Amino acid sequence: MAYLTVNIDPIATIRQARRTDEPDPVWAAALCELAGTNGITVHLRQDRRHINDRDVRLLKETVASKFNLEMSLAEPIVRIAEKVRPDQVTLVPENRAELTTEGGLNCAGQQKRLAQIVKRMHRKDILVSTFILPDEKQILASAEAGCDAVELHTGPYANAKTDSRIETTLNQLRDGRDIAAAAGLIVHAGHGLTYRNIRPVARIEGICEFNIGHSIIARAVLVGIRQATEEMIRLIEQ
Ligand code: PXP
């Protein structure tokens, strides 16, 4: 059975739209845990556009399931991870202009830096995963650097428009899983997964963890809007 970790960055994005204190991602994490999630993910970006240092500190103290910190390889962020000690870090590429994480991490092109970070994280008992395209070179580079897991990028699958493209991207994920498993890596997957497209990926055996954010938070807004409206009407009427 695969696990779900909920990426709650979009909660912080809504908060930051007004620079206020609601909705609090720490409360959202607790509610996801009450609903049974196996983990909580946040991305502490260098520009702090959504999740901030306070969120990471409090989530480390309050998340009872797995706390997964997504981050770039930038030194100030690596130092924060060493201090906070999440259960896992997922290393991602970070580009200031992007709306969300775009391509996979180029592990083969920065293997020395990657291996140094893995060593530093392991010294603090933090598991290390890399967010990569299901590409043999990147998977093997992650394994050689000593990573524990890889998160296979499901963006190309999520963006596939035709049946044949969907099948090709699913096969790439299956091949990636096989290569990663043979190299001793745990296999995660994520990005762009929704209530509509999750089923075929969830059927791929050997993927242990799905990291899903936008679609869950988007649905939460809509399934919760009726109650929220009714509560405000009640307050006005009183
Ligand atoms: N995995 C990684 C590495 C990500 O950067 C993100 C988005 O922050 C996700 C998974 C979740 O993607 P989505 O919000 O599209 O579900």
**Contact assessment for residue 105 and residue 97, using Cβ atoms and an 8 Å cutoff:** no
Query: Inter-axis angle of helices 111-123 and 75-84, to 10 degrees?
Result: 20
CA-closest candidate to residue 149, choices 201, 185, 124: 185
Residues having CB closer than 6 A to ligand 1 are 7, 9, 43, 70, 90, 92, 100-101, 131, 151, 190-193, 211-215
- Per the structure, the count of domains in the chain is 1
Specify the pLDDT at position 186. 98
Q: What is the pLDDT of residue 7?
A: 98
> Of the listed 50, 70, 153, 188, which one is catalytic?
70
Q: According to the model, what pLDDT value does residue 97 have? A: 76
The stretch 166-192 carries a mean pLDDT of: 98
Q: What is the pLDDT of residue 95?
A: 82
The one-letter code for the residue type at 102 is E
Q: What is the pTM of this model?
A: 0.96
> Which residue, 111, 108, 104, 147, is CA-closest to 126?
147
114 contacts 130 by C-beta, under 8 angstroms: yes
β partners of residue 42: 69
Diameter over CA atoms, the chain: 64
- 43 catalytic? Reply is yes
Query: Which candidate, 54, 66, 108, places its Cα nearest to that of 90?
Result: 66
167 torsion bin: left (phi>0), alpha (psi -120 to 50), beta (else)? alpha
Cis status, amide bond into 86, omega within 30 of 0: no
Pocket mutation for ligand 1, best pick of 50, 94, 101, 132 (most atoms within 8 Å of C-beta): 101
- 153 counts as catalytic: no
Catalytic residue (one of 50, 153, 188, 191): 191
Beta strands of 72-148 (E only): which ranges? 88-91, 127-132
Range of the domain at 222: 3-237
pLDDT band at 120 (very low <50, low <70, confident <90, very high): very high
Q: Distance from CA of residue 227 to its chain's centroid?
A: 29
pLDDT tens per residue across span 94-109: 987 777 777 899 999 9
| 184-189 mean pLDDT | 98
- pLDDT, average across residues 19-35: 98
CATH number at residue 126: 3.20.20.70
Question: Using CA positions, which residue lies closest to atom 15 of ligand 1?
Answer: 192
* Cα–Cα dist 76/79, whole Å: 5
Only one residue has tokens 């929704």, namely 194
Mean pLDDT over 177-185 rounds to 98
